[in-house]
A and B are shown apart, each in its own frame.
Chain A
């Protein structure tokens, strides 16, 4: 799948309700064009996973997701042999034929007994798919190697079957919260996109498009206030999804304009740590922080 132009990507994403900036649209365009995976890095809740989902949606492709975690291995990421079925097969054969082990072994190590896991599945689906490798930084360094062959050559080697090449080249998104440095080998193979918190204007647009019934003035106030919060030294800064939750609750409560009292009363939607809430509360009460 190739896009006509970068603005084409922008339009398609917008239709999905994902508001891209120029950088996002450019990288998605290049990824499709060069058939390269994209490594999306950034703080939690800035729409990394959402981007992959929206791309899959807008292209009407299947989204295949591999959630990474410590201890993820080949049998969970790429493929596994279906032991149960193999065992049944072995037990089902005639005693006479049992001698012919070679025939049998060829049989039980065939496609029929192969369990596909996300990476293999992404390569073998007949139509092009979007592969999302989520939170790749949670893998140990050694386990990253699992991804390398898939990402650069779009193929998988299975000792008993040989190399399985992809029927089509999937669009690949890897997301990372940067809790550790990824290996050079992995980074080299990807295009890089850093998703930061949106700036005030983009955040306002996101709020307006996602929260029904929000007035322009309120959206403006909210986005302005959130950006001030993100400048503070918080344990966990409010993410985009949290600011959307907040906006939705404010609309639900019938708030037209932010006041200090409503803000303090609803802070727990935005901030998830007691110490953060106390900090913001005290700076609001002392007037050090002013609502825009």
Chain B
């Protein structure tokens, strides 16, 4: 048991969760203080002692399921029985229909146990799992779902629902049902496959093949659409953090000026000895931010990411203007106004913003030129300028002197580049000609890097 716990910790660490030795000791102590047979309780206890960031919880839960599956012993006996039974039965059309029927009934009755047992049968019949193969199970899940004919199942389920008596209140719920059913079937199949893989090859091996990572380590440039959508949740706290960083007051007394009047007055109660020094409260600066983002094809998924950031930021900054460009620059501030949902904003940016005036390939020089001509009033001494892009200007002139002029007028310029540092300045990348005018150029292809920029760079 302790050994399993330690390999669990090992897997967490491998996925980049920082777990210190003292936390492991806490976990072991806590576990000895509770009833470990209560799985939920066991899960809470480990989470409270090992995970100190709510964003790490999803990963924790997935690994927990791998390392501490529900009631394993009786469970594997059941599977074995089923597998023996399945050897006798050919995989006939009749059997598939049978399984489907069982699944639909379970859904209609909203019976979790029946659902699980139907899924178990389905995985046995359809997944075609081979022992000892070092795979993550995606393929098995896919095979099961395909042969199960998920859409057909959901259709029959809906039909069955409408046959039953439905009150008016439920009517509005009806629209959500198919999606819920699909989701729960998919999740059940996934966890069932996972459980069998663990039974076959052991927790640590499976955890390794799955190569789970924290949301902050997802590579934005190669992320799937779903992963990108998922990142949205983390953007808002990050944008807030950026806002607090930029408006941070300098409260250290060394920078403050002495409030002579108050110090002398308070000193009277100490018989004239100025025992306490009082300082003027520093003014809170309202951060002004201008974000300029390349949204050309070469950085498409990064552009989506910056748009997400922009969206989150526009809710945290009162004074913020945003611009996008490919070879021409356009202002998009209003598309991110209050009450606009992120998808509306994105649609508006792609359909309304005029970013192509020439050949439709990124042109940094021209875009900066137009920015200076049209929007220079957006930049004041209090402005922090953030430029997002890979600085690949397709061999167009970079016109870095313009950036120099903008720099003179602004407070800071930061550049976030989605390319790995090793690619910089190769080919048509001209990042080094811009970097002298920036207060910092950062590689930014994961949330972690973005966070580092926010907490250390700014």
Residues of A within 8 A of B (CB): 6, 22-23, 26-27, 29-30, 33-34, 36, 39, 41-42, 70-71, 83-84, 87, 91, 140, 178-181, 184, 187-194, 233, 235, 275-276, 278-279, 290, 292
Contact = CB atoms under 8 A, between A and B. Distances in A.
Contacts of A42: 54
A87 B273 CA distance: 9
A83 B57 contact: no
A185 B380 CA distance: 39
Nearest to A83: B275
A192 B271 contact: no
B342 to A, nearest CB: 7
A3 to B, nearest CB: 10
Name, among A179, A191, A276, the residue most crowded by chain B CB atoms within 10 Å (CB to CB): A191
Interface of B: 18, 20, 22-23, 26, 29-30, 33-34, 40-41, 44-45, 47-49, 51-54, 57, 169, 172, 237, 240-241, 244, 249, 251, 269-271, 273, 275-276, 315, 338-339, 341-342, 455
B270 A26 contact: no
Contacts of B57: 194
A190 B22 CA distance: 11
B34 A187 contact: no
B270 A180 contact: no
B52 A187 contact: yes
B24 to A, nearest CB: 11
B253 to A, nearest CB: 9
A195 to B, nearest CB: 10
Contacts of B249: 70
Given A30-B48, A235-B338, A290-B172, 7 more contacts: A29-B33, A34-B30, A87-B275, A191-B26, A192-B47, A194-B54, A279-B339
Contacts of B342: 233
Nearest to B311: A233
A229 B269 CA distance: 55
Contact of B270 (A83, A181, A190): A83
A192 B52 contact: yes
A279 B23 CA distance: 45
A91 B271 contact: yes
B287 to A, nearest CB: 15
B244 A180 contact: yes
Contacts of A33: 30, 33
Contacts of B20: 184, 188
B338 A275 contact: yes
